[in-house]
Amino acid sequence: MPRTGPASAGQSELNAPFHHEGTNGEAVLVIHGFTAGPASMLPWAQAFADAGYTVDLPVLPGHVTSWQQLSKTRYTEITGAVERAYEALAARHARVYVAGMSMGGALALHLGATHAPAGLALINPGLTIESPVAKFTGLLRFLVPSIKSIANDIAKPGGNEHAYDRTPIGGVHELRKLFRAARTGLPKIKCPIIVFRSDQDHVVPESSIEVLRAGVNRSLDLRIRRLPRSYHVATLDHEADEVFAESIEFFRKLGSAHHD
């Protein structure tokens, strides 16, 4: 399994960044979620690699270190890192697709508005936060540094995404800013999107999907594929293989249409 670089202090081997040089001339940027790391996305990244794509799955700033570090990380540091990763792939490949889960979905949508990816594949993308106290994170972060983990919302027994064991309120405050920026950019997205949406998701509310539907242009190719047997971390759940196969087929058809 191709990997890049040794894991730094605090990184497990599973959460090391992943890079694979492909053979089909196209690339996929894979983006992990909030408090998680590459481990949660590695099976999806490997599926793209096996399909011939160049794949880059980076560690986002504030992640795979400590929740305290994430608490101090600005959302613009994360969007900047994602943009640089995308631009590095775009410099060497005619088409770059983006695959993201949860916060990674919001980052993918943000890229769709600010750059020109060939297509987006999203799993349970976050654009809203359901908690009624979320709007008070600016104050709460000084009073309650962290709350319980949001990790491992997986229906399949034994699943582990190797995320932080606490959720930093400072990080949630920045996440809200990211979601706001992503929502604002939705009308600017021009590339096709496939969304895999779990019927039971205990992390991202259904309102995120409703906001996405309402925010993009009506003429945009937006497909919603429901997942009846998976929870939030669908990359590690019962329907993972279906998600991988359908997202690869979605990208392949976009690439074929470009050649026709």
Q: Which amino acids are annotated catalytic?
A: 102, 201, 232
Q: Are strands 95-101 and 26-31 parallel, antiparallel or unpaired?
A: parallel
Are 156 and 237 in contact by the 8 Å Cβ rule? The answer is yes
Burial level of 14, CB count in 10 A (0-12/13-18/19+)? middle
Are residues 30 and 44 in contact, defined by beta-carbon separation less than 8 angstroms? yes
Tokens 């794509």 locate to: 53
Distance in angstroms (rounded) separating the CA atoms of residues 73 and 63? 9
Burial 29-66 (b: 16+ CB within 10 A, else e): bbbbbbbbbbbbbbebbbbbbebebbbbbbbbbbbbbe
Q: Where are the beta strands (DSSP E) in the chain?
A: 18-20, 26-31, 54-57, 95-101, 119-123, 146-148, 166-168, 193-198, 222-227
Question: In this structure, are residues 165 and 149 in contact, taking their beta carbons and an 8 Å threshold?
Answer: yes
What one-character DSSP code corresponds to residue 166? E
**Maximum CA pair distance of the chain?**
58
